[in-house]
Structures are given as structure tokens and as C-alpha cells.
Amino acid sequence: MKVCLAQTNIIFEDKNKNLIKAKKLISDASTKGQDLILFPEMSFTGFSMNTKLIGESDNETLKMMSNLAKEYNINIGFGWVKKDDEGYHNIYSIVNRNGKEVADYAKIHPFSYSKEDLFYKAGEELCVFELDNIKMAVFICYDLRFPELFRAVAGKVSMVIIPANWPAKRSNHWKTLLTARAIENQVYIMAVNCQGDMGGQYYSGDSCIINPNGDVIESISDCEGLIDCELADDVAQYRENFPVLKDRRLKLYAELFEKIENVSL
């Protein structure tokens, strides 16, 4: 699979301008023969708590990306804000080249440090899907700090997509945790962040593709742009050669977790 990460300088809360830019990037990726293009978290608005402005009850962005996927014959991953009867949700969707939504993930861990949890409902479901015969999962930004999520899908997927709006002041955490998730779960990591000044924060980007050994194959920092890489679905062979995951003792872990919960300190 030929994968393209779009590290964008998002124009804060200006969906129309960002969508115009996105269409150009999708066209460029398609022309280069890419199979999949991925955009950051909240791709066309930035990390905004202005839910009344950016929330969608009509799935407008989803419909537009679906049409672009069909027009340019490319799979597209993008973030947007969905409004329903329960409230607002920080969503990442994947539409395939036929325009069908194959992944619809709601961020499980809203970033309480910045009060995201006061504006967005937390997701309750993992998202494992298949794209071009490759099994994948997707998590969003702050989810990266919770290894339990990644462990839950380890052994079931070959690639994990992580879109984000992750500030430069914590870029060391970003890089370290991404590498750790690749190594400990023996998966490819495709991490796409935004870049530039937005909403009072500076984002260095540091978007990257990491292999199951923890090697950074491609990366981009401190600029807007596309990076691409052709990935082989060779994770099963990697795990066979170095079979770490088979040594997990899941039943014991569950028993130990239960015991520690009952310990009084």
C-alpha cells in the first residue's frame, strides 16, 4: 500500500479554506499513485472547542470526502466533529476509493487537560477495519498515552493510524510514545499531525511512519507538506520471526488487575 501523510497548517476554524487546500492535496496524492492519504485530527477546523460552529449534524464533510475519494480514486482518512442527540464527538473517518465509509472512530479519551471532555462525548468503541485487504485500527491524539487501547488490537491489525493536533512543547512525548507503540505491539504506525500556529499553540508536526521494529521510515517536521511511503503487509512474518505477542498472559493479567483493585493503600 502506498500511504501519504498530509501534514497541514490548519487555518483555525475555517472549514471552507481548509477543504480547498485538502482537495489540492488529495489531487496531488492521487496523481502520484498513492492508495491512501491521511489528514490530522479535526482536519479542517483545528482543535477547537467551538462545537456550535464546527459541529455537523448533516455529515457534510463526510459526504464531501466520499465524493473526492471516488473522483480521485483514493482512500482518505480525515477528522471532523459529529453532532447527534448525545452531543458532539471528535471523529476520525476513513472512506475507501469507492466512497464508502469503512471506519468511524470517536475519540475514546478526550483531552481533559485542555477541557476537551467538557465539550465532547468520549467514544466507547474500538475501530478495527480492513482497507485494501490490510487490517488496521485508528486512535486519536491523546489516546496515544493509553497503551491499553493498542494492546486490545495488537495481534488483530498490521497498521495503526494516529491523527493528532499535538503541540510542539510535548513533541518528545509524541515521538517516544509512537515508537513505543510500534515496538510493543509489532505494528506499523502512521502518525499524522498538524503544523504551524493555531489557536494559541505552535505545532511542529513530526508526522511519521514507523515500522514494527521502531524504525522511523519517513518523517516531516516544522513545515507543511506530504510524506509518502510504500508499505508491505509483512507484519505476520515479523511476528513469526520475533514472537513476542504470543507470550502475553492475558488471563493472568486480568487476575492481577482485579487483585490490585482490591488492595487498600
This prediction has a pTM of 0.97
What pLDDT score does 199 carry? Answer: 84
Mean of pLDDT over the chain:
97
Q: Annotated catalytic, 107?
A: yes
Phi, psi at 27, each rounded to 5°: -60, -45
Q: Which residues contact 130 (CB under 8 A, 6 or more apart)?
A: 102, 136
What pLDDT score does 265 carry? Answer: 67
Average of pLDDT values for 36-57?
98
Q: How far apart are CA 34 and CA 9, in angstroms?
A: 21
Hey, CA dihedral for 153, 171, 65, 224, is it positive or negative?
negative
Domain span at 222 = 2-261
Q: Residue 205's domain is classified under what CATH number?
A: 3.60.110.10
The grid coordinates listed for 241 are: 520471526
User: Could you give the percent of the chain with pLDDT greater than 70?
Assistant: 99
Domains in the chain, number: 1
* Eight-state DSSP code of residue 151: H
Give me the catalytic one of 4, 127, 141, 208.
141
Sheet holding 2-7, edge to edge: 101-106, 87-95, 75-84, 36-38, 2-7, 225-230
pLDDT digits (tens, 9 = 90+) for 87-112: 999 999 999 999 999 999 999 999 99
Average of pLDDT values for 140-150?
98
Q: How far apart are CA 49 and CA 46, in angstroms?
A: 9
Q: Annotated catalytic, 261?
A: no
Give me the catalytic one of 107, 116, 127, 208.
107
Instruction: Return the closest-CA partner of residue 26 out of 104, 78, 63.
Output: 78
Q: Annotated catalytic, 41?
A: yes
What pLDDT score does 141 carry? Answer: 98
Q: Which residues contact 222 (CB under 8 A, 6 or more apart)?
A: 195, 204, 205
Phi, psi at 102, each rounded to 5°: -110, -10
Give me the catalytic one of 4, 21, 41, 127.
41
